[in-house]
Chain A
Amino acid sequence: MKLDQVCFRTSHLTPSWTMESYRSVGGYQVLESVLKNKMRPEEIIEQVKNSALRGRGGAGFPTGLKWSFMPRRLPGDKYIVCNSDEGEPGTCKDRDILRYNPHQLIEGMIISGYAIGAQTGYNYIRGEFYEPIERFEAALEEAREAGYLGRDILGSGFHFELHTHIGAGAYICGEETALLESLEGKKGQPRYKPPFPAGYGLYGKPTTINNTESLASIPVILQYGADWFHELGTPNNGGSKIFCMTGHVNKPGNYEVPLGTPFAELLELAGGMRNGNKIKAVIPGGSSTPVVPGARMMELEMSYDGIGKGGSMLGAGSVIVMDETTCMVKALQRIAYFYYEESCGQCTPCREGTGWLYRVIKRIEEGQGRQDDMDKLVHMAENINGNTICALGDAAAAPVISFIKHFRDEFQYHIDHGRCMDNTA
C-alpha cells in the first residue's frame, strides 16, 4: 500500500506548503505544459474521465463527466468553484490540503478553469478555517507573483483569476447550490434542480463546483496519466483517497491510500482499536452515510463500490469508528441534533422533520421512550428521504434508518429500561 501519492505529495517536506516545496515534487509543470502546448481542453476532460476520478466531496459523481456538461464554447462568464466548506462530521481532509499543499489545489483549479472555459475561480473556504485561509491566500500570492494567475498566463493568452471566498458557519453550504447562493451573499439555501449549475450557476452563469480533494488530484492525474491514476485504485474507483480515521482508534488521522484498500488495513494504519476494545460500528463516509456493523465493515474494501456492498456509502471518506462502549442511541441523538441544527429551513419535511427526529431520539435516550417510537422514527425518516430539494433530508434520514436497523435491540433496551445496556458507557 502506497501512501500520500496524490493530494499529500508534499507531506514529506518542511514546510510542505510553499511554492518551492511544491515545485520540487513537480508542481506547476503540468500547468506549464498544458499552456505551452495549448493542450486541447477536450483532451484534459477526456483524461479526467479516463482516470475514473469521482467527486471527493461525498456524492462520488465522476469529475470528468461533470466537466463535460459545461458549455465551454458559450460566450460570457463561466466559473470554476472549489468547495472547501468542509463540515460533514468526521471529515477533515480538505483542511489539510489547504494547510499543507495549497499550491496543488491552485494548479488544479487553473487547469480546470482552462478545461471548462472559466476565467474566474472562487475557493469557498469555511469561515472557521482561519489558518487554512491564510495559507491558501499566501499561496495565491505566490502563484500570482510567479505569473500563474492573472491575464495572459505565461504568454499563453489564457486569463484566469482565482479568489478566496469565506463562509460563516453553515453545513448546508457544502451543498453545491447552497454554496453558490452563499457565494452570492445570500443565505445558503439549496436551489432546486434543474437547472443545474453547468447551465445556471454562479450569478446565473455556467459553473462547475468541485471538491478540494478532487481539484487537487487533477495535476497528478495529468502528470502521471489517467491510467496510472486509475490503476492506483480499482476499476470505476480510480486513484487514491484521503480517509479521515476518527473516533475510537489509536492513531486518528488523515491517511491517503489507494481506493480499494481493505478497511482492516486502514484500521491497522490508524493504530487499531483504542484500548484494544472490540469494534462495534463504523460510519464509513461521514455522518450522512448509513452506519455499518463492525464485523461487516471488517470485510469491506474502502472504495465507492466496496462500501456500497455493505449498504453504505464511501461519502467523503470520513471513517468514524465506534467501539463496544459506544451507546448507539446517544450517538444517533448527536447526529440527529446536527441535522436539526443545520437544516436550512427551506423544505417542509427537513425543517419540520429533523427537529421531530431529534426530539424523539432524545426522549428515548433520556429514558422517556415509547414502544411505537422506533417505528415512528423510521417512518418519519422515510417520509423525509427523497422529498426535499437537497440531500440534507436524505442525510438526516439515513443514520436514523440504519442505526435502528442494525442496533434495534439497543434502542429497544433503552425504551424498556430507560437506560443503556450494561456494557456501554
Chain B
Amino acid sequence: MVNIEIDGIPLKVDPTKMIIQAADEAGIDIPRFCYHKKLSIAANCRMCLVEVDKARKPLPACSTPVSDGMKVFTDSKVAVNAQRSVMEFLLINHPLDCPICDQGGECELQDLSMGYGEGISRFTERKRAVKDKDIGPLIQTDMTRCIHCTRCVRFGQEIAGIKELGATGRGEHMEISTYVEHSLVSELSGNIIDLCPVGALTSKPFRYKARAWEMQARPSIAPHDAVGSNIELHIRKNEVMRVVPRDNEDLNESWLSDRDRFSYLGLSSEDRLSEPMIKLDNQWQVVDWQTALDKTVEGLKGVISKFGAEEVAGLISPTATLEEAYLFQKWLRGLGTDNIDHRLRQQDFTDTDVDDSLSDWQLADIDDSDAFVLLGTNIRAEQPIIAHRIRQAALAGATVSSINLFTRDLLMPVDRQMAVNSPQLVQTLAGIAKALLAAAKQEPEDWLDLLPERAPSAFEHNVALQLSNAMNATLFVGDLINHQPQASTLRSLARLVAELSDSRLVVLPSSNSNAHRLAGSMPADKGLNARHCWERALRGYVMMGFDPLLDTAQPTIVHDALRRASFVVSISSFESDWVRQYANVILPMACFAETSGTFVGIDQRKQQFAGAVAPRGDSRPGWKILRVLGNISKLKGFDYISSQDVVDEIESPLRELKRGSKTGFIPDSLNLESDLMLISEVPMYRSDSLVRHSKALQQTPESRADGFARINQKEADKRGLDPQHEVVISQDDRKVSVPLEIDNNIADGCIYLAAATSVSAQLGSLFSQVQVMKAGRE
C-alpha cells in the first residue's frame, strides 16, 4: 500500500491502482466518459484530467498510476480549467438536441456539462453531422451525438468477445460504426446502451417512450436463465418501460443478456390473457374469478371422483417462482395426486435419483476455474452470463473444450471443439473416461465392462489431459444433453469423467428449476414424471405457465393427450390457440414483474423480488390463484397472507424434502442407435412464453434463422438435399416441410430444427430419429 492524498484527504492505496480507482473507492468524484471499471483504459476523453503535484501538466486520473507521496487535486484551478476546456471541445460538435434525446435526464454529458460547461458557446462554425446506422432491432443509433469514448468498441472486444463496432476514419471524421451495416450478433449487445455515456446508442424499443425522471425504479430478478441476473424495472404508469442491470459482482456483474433486457416487451403483448374464461358448449365465455375457480375445482374433483386422483396430472413451467411451485404441488397433492412435474422438456428420467445439485459452489467460482469442458451446451444462447464468465476466465488463460451436436463460435479462445451425434458423444465421453483411468486413484469397477476396449483418440486424450492438468476444472452439461432421450447415459458418463478427473460437474438448470426441486414440484413417490403424464393420456391436466406444444418435449403426444382429456385447466399469462382448443378453464396469471416471488439460481442462491406493476387486466399472481384454489378445494394450510408466508413454510425445518442420492447411475449399455437424429435446440429467443412474445427479440437475426432446417454438406449430398428445395422431415407418420440451409457446423448424422416453434410443434418428440428427403419426393 502507498500513501497518497486526494484533495487533502490522506488515503492508503494499492499501488497497482490508477488515481481514478483510488478516488472512486474513497467516494471522491472525478468526471469521466471513457473510463469504465469493467473495460480497459482508453484515456481518450480527457475529462478526468486532474492536477498532480510536481507534474508539469494535468494528468488523466484514469491512466495515471498512484505512487507513494502523490498529491492529487481534482478541483483545483488547474484541474477544473482542464476539465472545462475538455467539456467545451466535447460540446462544440455535440448536437444540443437534448429535448428530443432519449438519454436526456440520464446523460453523463448533460450532467457534467451542468458542472463544467459554459452557458454560451464560443463555437460559431458549422456542427458535424453523422449518418445513423441500422445495427438491428435492439439498439438505436444517433451517431451525431457520439463523443467517441469507445466504450462500446471496447465492450465488444473485451466483454462480448466479438468486435463488431469499430472506430473508422480518423480525426474529426472518426465514426463509431460497423462500417458495413448489419445487426449486432452478440447476445450481450444491449449493454452498450448502458455504457454509452450520451444518446448515441439507446434502446430502440424504448425510443421516445418515457423520460428518465418520469419512471420509478424497482429491483427485480431476471427469469430466463439459471443466473437470476439482478435487474431494475423502470416503471411509468404501471407499465414496465425498460429493464436495466443492477450491479451484482457475484452474478451478472454490470451486465445483462439481451434476453433479460428485452423480454419485458412481451408484457404488453396483445396475446396477454386478462380475464378468466370457461368453455361452455365449446364456446369460451368470460366469467368472474369465483366462477372460474369454482369450475376448476369442480372439474378436477369430478375427474378424481370418477377416475381416481391418479388420473390427474399437474405440470408447471420451470420459470414459475418458488412460491408458485410450492403451492402448485401442495394443492395437487392435497387433491391426492403425485403426478406433478416441472421438467417439461426432459425425456429421460432414469437417473432422477441422482442429485447433481451444488451446495458449495458459487457462480463466481467460474472466475477461478482453469479448465472448462462444455458438454452438450450452446452456452451463449442457453446461459449468456455464464458464457461471459467463462470467456473472461478463458481470456485470462483457462482452457476450454466443447463437445456438442454442433460447433458454434463461442467468441472466446477455445482449445478444442467437436461436433458429434449422440452415439458418438457417448463414445467420446467413454473414451475420455478411459483415458483418465490410467491415472485414476480408484478404478470405477461398475464401469469397467462398459468402457470401450479401443485406445482413446487423440482428442479424448487431450481432453483428459486438460482436465487432469487443471487445478480447478469445471464440466458443464447443458440442454442439448439434458433434453435428449439418452440424457441419463450421457450425464452418467459426464459424472464419471468429473469424478475420475476430480473436476466439478455443473448440470445447467433451466431457469428457476432449482426452486422447483426445493419446492418439490416433481413426483415424490409413485407419481408420474412429465413424460409419462403425457404418454399415459390421463383424464385431467392442470398446466401452469407454459405453452403445451412449445415448451414440452413431445408436442404431438401432448396434443393427443390434451385432446382426449376430459378436463383441462390452463393457468397462464398468454393466449394460445392450442390451449383454447383443449382447455376447459383458462385462468389468467400475472407475469414476470407483476408478481412477487423467489428465484433460486444455479448456485442455490435464493433471491426474492417484489411485484413492480399491477397484473395485466384481471389477471392475478400465480401464488394467489393457487392459494384460493387450495381454499376452494377445502384443503388445510392455505391461509397465506403474503408470499413470504409461503417461503417461511418452505424453509421450515419440519418440512421433509426427498433428497436424491449421490451414488450415481450406471447405464446398461453405451451403444445407441445411430439413425439420422434431430437436433432440437430451444433457440435463445424461444425459451419461454414471455421471450417469445417480445417482438424486438423475435426480429433479431438470431430469431430469423429459426425457420430453417440445417444439415451439413456431406449429409445433404448423401440424401440429395440442397438449399434450393424445401425438405420434408418425418417421424413416424408426422411430417413437416421446411426450407434448408447447409451448415457444416452440424455434426454428421444430425439435422438441426429449432424447437419451440410452430413447425417443431408438429413433430412427435425432440431429439428423435427422423427421415429427411427433398420436398416432392416423399
Chain A partners chain B:
yes
Cα–Cα, bound, A383→B213 (Å)? 35
B57 with A340: CB separation less than 8 A? no
Decide if B147 is an interface residue (CB 8 Å cutoff). Answer: yes
In the complex formed, the residue of A with least CB distance to B33 is A348
Cα–Cα, bound, A268→B539 (Å)? 111
B41 with A192: CB separation less than 8 A? yes
B57 with A343: CB separation less than 8 A? no
Cα–Cα, bound, A173→B383 (Å)? 43
Decide if B620 is an interface residue (CB 8 Å cutoff). Answer: no
Q: Give 1 or 0 for each of B321-333: 1 = CB within 8 Å of chain A CB.
A: 0000000000000
Decide if A353 is an interface residue (CB 8 Å cutoff). Answer: yes
A387 with B172: CB separation less than 8 A? no
In the complex formed, the residue of A with least CB distance to B168 is A187
B44 with A347: CB separation less than 8 A? yes
Decide if B125 is an interface residue (CB 8 Å cutoff). Answer: yes
B171 with A344: CB separation less than 8 A? yes
Decide if B597 is an interface residue (CB 8 Å cutoff). Answer: no
Decide if A194 is an interface residue (CB 8 Å cutoff). Answer: yes
Task: With A356-B125, A387-B85, A387-B86 as known contacts, state yes or no: A348 contacts B174, CB within 8 Å.
Answer: no
Decide if B167 is an interface residue (CB 8 Å cutoff). Answer: yes
Q: Which of B44, B123, B167, B171 contacts A348 (CB 8 A)?
A: B44
Task: With A192-B43, A387-B57 as known contacts, state yes or no: A352 contacts B174, CB within 8 Å.
Answer: no
Q: Which of A356, A376, A387, A389 contacts B82 (CB 8 A)?
A: A387
B125 with A348: CB separation less than 8 A? no
Decide if A253 is an interface residue (CB 8 Å cutoff). Answer: no
Decide if B45 is an interface residue (CB 8 Å cutoff). Answer: yes
Decide if B464 is an interface residue (CB 8 Å cutoff). Answer: no
In the complex formed, the residue of B with least CB distance to A339 is B171
How many Å from the CB of B207 to the closest CB on chain A? 27
List of A residues within 8 angstroms of B169 by Cβ: 345
**A-contacting 9-mer, from B87-95, B258-266, B278-286, B660-668:** B87-95
Decide if A294 is an interface residue (CB 8 Å cutoff). Answer: no
Cα–Cα, bound, A158→B541 (Å)? 83
Cα–Cα, bound, A346→B174 (Å)? 8
Secondary structure call for the B interface = loop
A187, A353, A356 — most chain B CB neighbours (10 Å): A356
Q: Which of A347, A352, A355, A386 contacts B57 (CB 8 A)?
A: A386
A342 with B171: CB separation less than 8 A? yes
Identify which of residues 121-155 in chain B touch chain A, using a CB-to-CB cut-off of 8 Å: 122-123, 125, 147-148
A–B Cβ pairs within 8 angstroms, 20 of them: A187-B167, A187-B170, A340-B171, A343-B170, A343-B171, A345-B172, A347-B46, A348-B45, A348-B86, A349-B46, A349-B89, A352-B93, A353-B89, A355-B171, A356-B89, A356-B92, A360-B125, A376-B122, A383-B89, A389-B43
In the complex formed, the residue of B with least CB distance to A345 is B174
List of A residues within 8 angstroms of B57 by Cβ: 386-387
A348 with B173: CB separation less than 8 A? no
In the complex formed, the residue of B with least CB distance to A355 is B172
B49 with A345: CB separation less than 8 A? no
Q: Give 1 or 0 for each of A362-397: 1 = CB within 8 Å of chain B CB.
A: 010000000000001000000110111100000000
List of A residues within 8 angstroms of B167 by Cβ: 187, 345
**A-contacting 9-mer, from B58-66, B100-108, B245-253, B504-512:** B58-66
B41 with A383: CB separation less than 8 A? no
B88 with A351: CB separation less than 8 A? no
Cα–Cα, bound, A343→B173 (Å)? 10
How many Å from the CB of A299 to the closest CB on chain B? 28
Instruction: Taking A192-B43, A340-B171, A387-B57 as given, write out 4 further A-B residue pairs in contact, using a Cβ cutoff of 8 Å, ordered by the A residue number.
Output: A343-B172, A344-B170, A348-B147, A349-B89
In the complex formed, the residue of B with least CB distance to A362 is B125
Decide if A359 is an interface residue (CB 8 Å cutoff). Answer: yes
List of B residues within 8 angstroms of A324 by Cβ: none
Cα–Cα, bound, A376→B90 (Å)? 16
Cα–Cα, bound, A289→B382 (Å)? 59
List of B residues within 8 angstroms of A345 by Cβ: 148, 167, 169-174
How many Å from the CB of B145 to the closest CB on chain A? 14
User: Contact size class for A?
Assistant: 20 to 34
List of B residues within 8 angstroms of A360 by Cβ: 125
Cα–Cα, bound, A338→B65 (Å)? 34
B44 with A352: CB separation less than 8 A? no
Q: Which 10 A/B pairs are nearest by Cβ-Cβ distance? A: A345-B174, A383-B85, A386-B57, A352-B89, A343-B171, A192-B43, A355-B172, A345-B171, A359-B125, A192-B63
Identify which of residues 480-536 in chain B touch chain A, using a CB-to-CB cut-off of 8 Å: none
Decide if B697 is an interface residue (CB 8 Å cutoff). Answer: no
Decide if A217 is an interface residue (CB 8 Å cutoff). Answer: no
In the complex formed, the residue of B with least CB distance to A170 is B170
Q: Which of A194, A346, A386 contacts B65 (CB 8 A)?
A: A194
Decide if A412 is an interface residue (CB 8 Å cutoff). Answer: no
How many Å from the CB of A379 to the closest CB on chain B? 8
In the complex formed, the residue of A with least CB distance to B169 is A345
Decide if A305 is an interface residue (CB 8 Å cutoff). Answer: no
B171 with A351: CB separation less than 8 A? yes
Cα–Cα, bound, A192→B147 (Å)? 19
Identify which of residues 167-182 in chain A touch chain B, using a CB-to-CB cut-off of 8 Å: 170
A192, A348, A389 — most chain B CB neighbours (10 Å): A348
B44, B92, B169 — most chain A CB neighbours (10 Å): B44
Decide if A341 is an interface residue (CB 8 Å cutoff). Answer: yes
How many Å from the CB of A352 to the closest CB on chain B? 4
Identify which of residues 163-195 in chain B touch chain A, using a CB-to-CB cut-off of 8 Å: 167, 169-174
A352 with B92: CB separation less than 8 A? yes
Decide if B412 is an interface residue (CB 8 Å cutoff). Answer: no
B41, B88, B169, B172 — most chain A CB neighbours (10 Å): B172
List of B residues within 8 angstroms of A349 by Cβ: 46, 85-86, 89
Decide if A354 is an interface residue (CB 8 Å cutoff). Answer: yes
Decide if B231 is an interface residue (CB 8 Å cutoff). Answer: no
List of B residues within 8 angstroms of A187 by Cβ: 167, 170
In the complex formed, the residue of B with least CB distance to A372 is B122
A348 with B47: CB separation less than 8 A? yes
Cα–Cα, bound, A351→B169 (Å)? 12
Cα–Cα, bound, A21→B172 (Å)? 47
Q: Give 1 or 0 for each of A325-344: 1 = CB within 8 Å of chain B CB.
A: 00000000000000011111
A351 with B174: CB separation less than 8 A? yes
B58 with A387: CB separation less than 8 A? yes
Identify which of residues 50-86 in chain B touch chain A, using a CB-to-CB cut-off of 8 Å: 56-58, 60, 63, 65, 82, 85-86
Cα–Cα, bound, A153→B92 (Å)? 58
Cα–Cα, bound, A340→B60 (Å)? 23
Cα–Cα, bound, A343→B171 (Å)? 5
B46 with A387: CB separation less than 8 A? yes
In the complex formed, the residue of A with least CB distance to B44 is A346
Q: Which of B46, B85, B171 contacts A354 (CB 8 A)?
A: B171
B85 with A388: CB separation less than 8 A? no
In the complex formed, the residue of B with least CB distance to A375 is B122
Cα–Cα, bound, A346→B176 (Å)? 12
Cα–Cα, bound, A359→B123 (Å)? 10
Cα–Cα, bound, A387→B51 (Å)? 11
How many Å from the CB of B580 to the closest CB on chain A? 58
Q: Which of A347, A352, A388 contacts B172 (CB 8 A)?
A: A352
How many Å from the CB of B448 to the closest CB on chain A? 47
Cα–Cα, bound, A248→B513 (Å)? 83
How many Å from the CB of B663 to the closest CB on chain A? 50
How many Å from the CB of A347 to the closest CB on chain B? 5
How many Å from the CB of A132 to the closest CB on chain B? 24
List of A residues within 8 angstroms of B90 by Cβ: 348, 352
A351 with B60: CB separation less than 8 A? no
How many Å from the CB of B637 to the closest CB on chain A? 65
List of A residues within 8 angstroms of B170 by Cβ: 170, 187, 343-345
List of A residues within 8 angstroms of B122 by Cβ: 376
In the complex formed, the residue of A with least CB distance to B91 is A352
How many Å from the CB of B488 to the closest CB on chain A? 48
Q: Give 1 or 0 for each of A177-205: 1 = CB within 8 Å of chain B CB.
A: 00000000001000010100000000000
How many Å from the CB of B66 to the closest CB on chain A? 12
